[in-house]
């Protein structure tokens, strides 16, 4: 753990998946704005970049090991944070990855692993912090979803379904937690320039050039390559998170990124049939 001196009255934020990308930028942004920030990650071997910037800028960041797929790891981290600070004001559920492959090519084990991180990991971590938030009668849960939590596309059925799950879960939680002074916020990034696409897990069967879906996969990959050229930076998402958690009356949903609003506006303004045709033209 690395810590930097900070006022005792700082709000406490916990960010999962902070070693890179959106989680990394969010942890830095919150710390730069006076949050005592626990940048958590599965492997502390990936903490050097956060440590370096925290030391250079004298940021109130503390590095903590937390694996969202491991209940013991989560509980140990949360209890350690509560022992040090006595409270948790913001939880940013960011940890996740993309499983790529046509639905028929996905094994059940691959799908389960995707849900373990993207959905059940979020659930475990949130349930671990809720008793403390209820006790303090305040708190904010930020769930990093995706525009893919509102819109499907070919080759992403596993990942997209986890984000749709996060959307529905978050909506339901919002009703339940409001009486306890706890807010729920959904952040929906578009295509963001992070290493999540470099670390995509490709389904085993989908790697077979003889897969009946190989041609579709190739076209979708080419489409994403084009979109990545105009992708937004993860700093944009971090700024949206900061805006949301510092708003006394935040919205339930926030879009983040250049393309997110464009896609969602098209989805809202077109019939399902017309939107389907447009997606085929753009992605396939």
Give 56-71 pLDDT, tens digit per residue. Answer: 999 999 999 999 999 9
Query: Is 4's pLDDT higher than 50?
Result: no
Is 213 an annotated catalytic residue? no
pLDDT tens per residue across span 127-186: 999 999 999 999 999 999 999 999 999 999 999 999 999 999 999 999 999 999 999 999
pTM attached to this predicted model: 0.94
Q: Which CATH superfamily is domain 12-95+117-192+233-265 in?
A: NAD(P)-binding Rossmann-like Domain (3.40.50.720)
pLDDT tens per residue across span 213-250: 999 999 999 998 888 888 889 999 999 999 999 999 99
State how far the Cα of 152 lies from the Cα of 71, in Å rounded to an integer: 30
Percent of the chain with pLDDT over 90: 87
Closest CA to 77 of 27, 115, 36, 42: 42
Rg (CA), the chain: 19
Q: What is the mean pLDDT of residues 33-61?
A: 97
- Among residues 24, 38, 153, 159, the one annotated as catalytic is 159
Contact 205, 212 (CB under 8 A): no
């Amino acid at each position: 753990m690395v810590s930097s001196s900070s006022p005792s009255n700082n709000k406490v934020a916990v960010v999962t998946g902070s070693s890179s990308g959106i989680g990394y930028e969010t942890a830095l942004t919150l710390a730069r704005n006076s949050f005592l920030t626990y940048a958590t990650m599965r492997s502390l071997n990936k903490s050097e970049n956060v440590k370096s910037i925290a030391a250079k800028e004298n940021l109130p960041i503390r590095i903590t090991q937390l694996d969202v797929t491991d209940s013991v790891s989560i509980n140990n981290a949360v209890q350690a944070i509560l022992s040090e600070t006595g409270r948790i004001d913001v939880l940013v559920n960011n940890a996740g990855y993309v499983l790529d492959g046509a639905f028929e090519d996905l094994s059940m084990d691959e799908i389960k692993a995707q849900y373990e991180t993207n959905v059940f990991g979020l659930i475990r971590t949130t349930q671990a912090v809720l008793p403390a938030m209820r006790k303090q009668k305040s708190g904010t849960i930020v769930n990093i979803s995706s525009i893919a939590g509102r819109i499907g596309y070919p080759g992403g059925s596993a990942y997209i379904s986890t984000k749709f799950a996060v959307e529905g879960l978050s909506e339901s939680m919002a009703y339940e937690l409001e009486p306890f002074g706890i807010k729920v916020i959904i952040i929906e990034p578009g295509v963001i320039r992070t290493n999540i696409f470099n670390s995509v897990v490709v389904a085993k069967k989908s790697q077979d050039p003889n897969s009946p879906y190989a041609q579709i996969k190739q076209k979708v990959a080419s489409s994403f390559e084009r979109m990545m050229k105009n992708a937004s930076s993860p700093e944009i998402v971090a700024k949206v998170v900061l805006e949301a958690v510092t708003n006394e009356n935040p919205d339930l949903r926030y879009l983040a990124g250049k393309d997110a609003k464009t896609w969602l506006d098209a989805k809202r303004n077109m019939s399902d049939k017309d939107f389907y045709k447009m997606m085929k033209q753009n992605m396939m």
